[in-house]
Amino acid sequence: MLYCIEDYCIKAYCKLRTNRSSLTEDRSKMASIRCFLRSGKSAVSVILRREFSKTSPAAVQLNVRDALNQAMDEELERDERVFLLGEEVAQYDGAYKVSRGLWKKYGDKRIIDTPITEMGFAGIAVGAAFAGLRPICEFMTWNFSMQAIDQVINSAAKTYYMSAGAQPVPIVFRGPNGSSAGVAAQHSQCFAAWYGHCPGLKVVSPWNSEDARGLLKAAIRDDNPVVFLENELMYGVPFDLSEEVMHKDFVLPIGKAKVERQGTHITLVSHSRCVGFCLDAAAVLAKEGVECEVVNLRTIRPLDVDTIETSVMKTGHLVTVEGGWPQYGVGAEICARIMEGPAFNYLDAPAVRVTGVDIPMPYAKILEDHSVPQIKDIIFSVKKVLNM
């Protein structure tokens, strides 16, 4: 058997090599084959044991925009009570193309273009939720939700309580939140603290594609009004997703944070786009021997205080990072909860907040960059807390 394999390999090799100028090289290679095959049973067993390589399934890469689109598509298909309405969500595929293709698939009755009147179509959406439907109400940006804040707070958030639990309001208000680029003061606010202040609402702030996909599906299925705060600058950012995340029934629990990076020296707590800044800062600090634990809040209300406290008890230090203004912000609430709870006794230094600057957003790019948290600001604050 051994010599049969040898003869076959040599003949096959010779057929592939017909150039006489490389005869010497060919003879050398044939000699190498003979030596390998004549080396005994081990050589034959190696050949006979060969099989196809086995690799784990490759992750799917999906940007945040497409993750949101898929989540809505799957929920529209799953539940005929779900529909989407807002400005330019249908024929134009959405101002940011988050609803691309949905109008062509589901038609005018379930993907509805509205006039530019936030108070009006937000009220229509709330009324539809009262009637048993499950609307997704898109604001072109959350800055425009101020036109409809009475519907969001007084009509949606308070009705379940005021009806003694008899009238659920299953509605999702969604759209881009926080600062973008070059859109100045009236289009650059973070509403996490605004809506996180109000009982009766659930407030979600995703960072990556997994967050966007899993949390939006959970929000649509929830029987409570959910404020879903996306970020325009994250829409085109791709992330790797596992097969589990891509499953149609994958949902993330609302009210549960995620530790994105394990660490032992200091805890960084953030949400939305600033989570990525924290991870980048942690990578820089790791080169200097500082291991940061990065907590992605995912949900602003209800706040996952347990995960934050557990991390602070481990590291003994805390820095919060957010794009919103400092006064009465998300970071201020986290610091207050830590001070009032058992984790306070584990702090080795005062907690520090990294926030947007306490001014309306400037239009000039250089001023805009100085008005929102940067990686260098996080690194500076971490070193300050650790007295480096």
What would the two tokens of residue 327 be?
């006064």
What would the two tokens of residue 190 be?
């973070």
Residue 187: active-site member: yes
Q: Sheet of 352-354: strands edge to edge? A: 258-261, 292-296, 266-270, 318-321, 352-354
Burial (Cβ within 10 Å: 0-12, 13-18, ≥19) of residue 350: exposed
Cβ-based neighbour number of residue 28 at 10 Å: 10
Within 8 A by CB and 6+ apart from 130, the residues are: 159, 167, 169
CA–CA distance from 136 to each of 11, 24, 110, 120 (Å)?
69, 74, 10, 14
Residue 118: active-site member: yes
**Which member of 74, 75, 87, 118 is catalytic?**
118
**Which member of 6, 187, 197, 291 is catalytic?**
187
Place of tokens 């959910």: 226
Q: How far apart are CA 236 and CA 183, in angstroms?
A: 18
SS3 309: helix
Q: How far apart are CA 278 and CA 145, in angstroms?
A: 28
For 205, the enclosing helix (H) or strand (E) is none
Which residues are paired to 304 by β-bridges?
none
What letter would DSSP give residue 155?
I
Q: How far apart are CA 248 and CA 296, in angstroms?
A: 23
What letter would DSSP give residue 153?
I
Give the catalytic positions in this structure.
118, 187
